[in-house]
Amino acid sequence: MNPALVAARAGLSRGWIEFRQTLTTPGDLIAILIPTGGFLAAMIWTRHTHVPGTHFSLGTTMLVSVLGLNVVVYGVVTMGDLLIVEREDGTLLRAKAIPNGMLGYLLGKIVSISAQIAFAVTITLLTGTFLFTGLAIGSPGSWLTLAWVLVLGLLATLPLGAVLGSLFPSQRSAGPWWLLLLGGLSAISGVFYPITHLPIFLQWTGQMFPPYWLGLGMRSALLPNAMAGVEVGHSWRHLATFGVLSAWVVAGLVLAPAVLRRMARRQSGSAVAASREKAMRGT
Amino acid sequence: MEDVLDVRDLRMRYGKTDVLNGVSFAARRGEVLALLGPNGAGKTTTIEILEGFRIRSAGEVSVLGADPARGGEAWRAKTGVVLQSWRDHAKWQVRELLTHLGRYYAPYSTASVTRPWDVDDLLETVGLTPHALKRVRNLSGGQRRRLDVAIGIVGRPEVLFLDEPTVGFDPEARRDFHEVVHRLAGREEATILLTTHDLNEAERLADRILILVGGTIIADGSADELARTMPGQSEVRWSRDGQRFVHAADDATSFVRELFRQHGESVGDLEVRRASLEDTYLALVRQAEHGLPRRLAAVAA
């Protein structure tokens, strides 16, 4: 049997095993539930506030946009951070020491993080349907749009996370950057407030990055059509969503293999030992 | 038959520092080599180059007939690696992890070698059967090391690299590990290169011992051969008329013969002790580090 195929299958089951471990490790579960709970609290808080210029609940809009943000948080930050952690603890080196191990490792990561995203999205959505009104979840078209935005979002963010994770030298040095990146991007992404109310310069910046488009895509899937009126150009802009996210997919898939190979090449026992010593010295 | 390991004039330089200055050695199939040397001598660098984890500066290296720097996955499937420090896969269960990592080796089975190693048998071999369902992070240091060894051999490697494999082992674990190595080298005909600071271990396990000092191999041979290169190798102790004597002899047999010829029945408590590998090792290293002449070094030892 083809060794790469065997490794790919091993990678898929690896992803499920890791996802199961996340669900059965209290610390990991809390790390998923706390931000999800935090977002939900913010939505409930703004449930009765209206989106400016409409009579539609800001909380409901936020709920839907947060689904898109979830993809970015897990796809970029969790992916990148895990890559750094597992580079330091030797998991990547282990993968390198077994035949086709890197292939299995990366597929495993993609599966386990996708599953985590699906989990977080499901929790948010389930809670949302009970607590919020106005969600357009009745039609098959909604779910179809949700599905393609989700898949495209994963393809756009996971390679990006892998690239960033490969570039940061250590988990300690990466921490503040993740916060800055995430905070900055979500502030101008239109997730918490319509992007049309921001200065033009920030509107343009926000529209260059995936969080805005993931949020827009989710809103187009799950909000009533009339709500397109408050978006840029009074439209859901599906074509632009597809175009911008696809551009990020291409960029990620072009960059990621080279950057990952470079990182893998630098893996060695002494590198792992050195990073451990560094972590222990606290520098 | 071609050597499994063949290293010629291997050199490694980091910036302006030469870590390896022309290391050469070879190993046949089924041979166990112990690489000894003080900290910083270049042992780990050597082993990492052979594992294909580090690119050498110069020299020829062949492992299983291929250059490790361009090994490929089929080559990788025939090698096993146990590094000094692993902290990976903390959340995995022992059995689950071995089963998972074993899967990658299945396509590399041959008519004579079924890969991977059966997990139950492997757990039994390294003594982890009672801990099969534990998560890796709940293992003790010694158990964790046993798991590292198990992962290193799950693909039934033809060549196995062990970097200080027995650190943190209690005497029982150490003996179990030695049995595993004997089994691998004997029945499985694996070629094994290991580094250790435990000279008894090296003497017990290795067919050949290489001593690496300052980036060069200063000695290459069996423990006996190394001992024979050292003059004053044996220590003779005896008592006569209630007095105790100690003498370092080049040729213990003729010394004792002469002793009995001169003093006959008055010689008692005779003890002849061969220089231990430790004596030999310390003398050789001291001599290499300080450039002392051989005889002087031996006396100092």
Reduced to 3 states, what is the DSSP secondary structure of residue B17? strand
HEC readout, B51-89:
HCCCCCCEEEEEECCECHHHCHHHHHCCEEEECCCCCCC
Q: What is the ipTM of this complex?
A: 0.87
User: Across-strand partners of B194?
Assistant: B34, B162
Query: Is the CB of B40 inside 8 Å of chain A's CB atoms?
Result: no
**Chain B: closest CA distance from residue A229 (Å):** 48
Using a CB-CB cut-off of 8 Å, the residues of chain B touching A13 are 100
Residue of B54, B87, B106 with shortest CB distance to A90: B87
Helix (H, G, I), strand (E, B) or coil at A198: coil
Residue B301 binned pLDDT confidence (cut-offs 50, 70, 90): very low
Query: How many angstroms away from the CA of A123 is the closest CA of chain B?
Result: 24
CA distances from B174 to B16, B34, B91, B205 (A): 39, 16, 26, 11
B203-247 pLDDT, tens per residue? 999 999 999 998 999 999 998 888 777 766 788 899 988 889 988
B104·A7 Cβ contact <8 A: yes
Q: Where are the domains of chain B?
A: 5-221, 226-300
Probe site for chain B from A20, A268, A280 (most B CB atoms < 10 A): A268
Nearest CA in chain A to B78: A99
Over pLDDT 70: what percentage of chain A?
99
Name every residue whose Cβ is closer than 8 Å to that of residue A21 and which is 6 or more positions away in sequence.
A28, B91, B92
Q: Are B102 and B155 in contact (CB under 8 A)?
A: yes
What is the tally of structural domains in chain A?
Answer: 1
Nearest residue in A to B50, CA atom: A268
- pLDDT given at position A226: 87
Mean pLDDT of chain A: 89
User: Residues of A with CB below 8 A from B74's CB?
Assistant: 3, 99
> What whole-number distance in Å separates Cα of residue B294 and Cα of residue B300?
10
Cα separation of B233 and B244, whole Å? 20
Is the predicted pLDDT of residue B299 greater than 50, yes or no?
Answer: no
Q: Which of B88, B92, B104 has the CB atom closest to A90's CB atom?
A: B88
Q: Does B76 touch chain A (CB under 8 A)?
A: yes
| Interior angle at CA A14, CA A9 and CA A17, nearest 5 | 135
User: How much is the pTM?
Assistant: 0.87
| Counts of helices then strands in chain A (DSSP H, E) | 12, 0
Select the CATH number that applies to the domain covering B5-221 from these four: 3.40.50.720, 3.40.50.300, 3.30.470.20, 3.90.1300.10. Answer: 3.40.50.300
* Domain housing A254: 3-281
Q: Quick one: tokens of B51?
A: 């594992």
Option in B53, B76, B83 nearest A98 (CB) = B76
